[in-house]
Amino acid sequence: MKPYSIDKLGEDILEILANDAKATPEDIARQLNVSVDKVQKYIKKLEKDRIILRYKTHINWQRIKQHEVRALIEVKVTPQRGVGFDSVAEVIYRFPEVTAVYLLSGGYDLLVQVEGPSLKEVATFVAEKLATIDHVQSTVTHFMLKKYKEDGDILVDQPEGKRLPVSF
């Protein structure tokens, strides 16, 4: 994948959208003191060039779907000549249960995030689909018990500050 060249204005537009997917071109133009037309053209180009992949609302699903199970799975892979880990990663990321795949350094090669309705279904996915893929040597599964923070957002209720009130 070749690097994408972008100027300061483009970076600023991306920062605003990353923090608020609902920001309109008008909002962005006002914040950056540029024309709405200029912002719209930047956004259209960034979408066309697949820099902006989609607009997303970050939801604390932990409070809604309390019975959904997530797991992080470390996968050790035998790399293939000419393609390294990419072909095995592609087989893995095409499964609908898989929500993320990362290439790692260290003891394991890939980190796979999986979601399912139950512990049994996630375990079955690992045993019957993931572990049986050619060139997968081994897996280690870690079930997520609780999320405290994700994508920079704190997901747990925070207690009121413990500071004493000050009066003069």
How sure is the predictor about 157, in pLDDT bands with cuts at 50, 70 and 90? confident
Q: Is residue 57 within 8 Å of residue 21, measured between CB atoms?
A: yes
Q: Is the pLDDT of residue 164 over 70?
A: no
Q: Which CATH class is domain 67-146?
A: alpha beta
Q: Where along the chain do its domains lie?
A: 8-48, 67-146
- Best CA proximity match to 115, nearest among 130, 97, 129, 131: 97
- The CA distance from 65 to 130, in Å, is 25
Q: Is the pTM of this model over 0.85?
A: no
Q: What is the pLDDT of residues 100-130, one digit of tens each?
A: 999 999 999 999 999 999 999 999 999 999 9
Q: Is residue 5 scored above 70 in pLDDT?
A: yes
List, for residues 64-91, the tens digit of each pLDDT value. Answer: 766 689 999 999 999 888 888 999 999 9
What are the DSSP calls for the chain, one per residue? -------HHHHHHHHHHHH-TT--HHHHHHHHTS-HHHHHHHHHHHHHTTSS--------GGGT-TT-EEEEEEEEE-PBTTTBTHHHHHHHHTSTTEEEEEE-SSS-SEEEEEEESSHHHHHHHIIIIITTSTTEEEEEEEE----SEETTEE-SPPPPP-PPP---
| Mean per-residue pLDDT of the chain | 89
- Mean pLDDT value of segment 33-57: 92
Fold of the domain built from segment(s) 8-48: Arc Repressor Mutant, subunit A (1.10.10)
pLDDT category, 155, cuts 50, 70, 90?
Answer: confident
Look at 50 and 161; give whichever has higher pLDDT. 50
Q: What is the pLDDT of residues 124-149, one digit of tens each?
A: 999 999 999 999 999 999 999 888 88
* Mean predicted confidence (pLDDT) in 2-16: 92
Does residue 159 carry a pLDDT above 80?
Answer: no
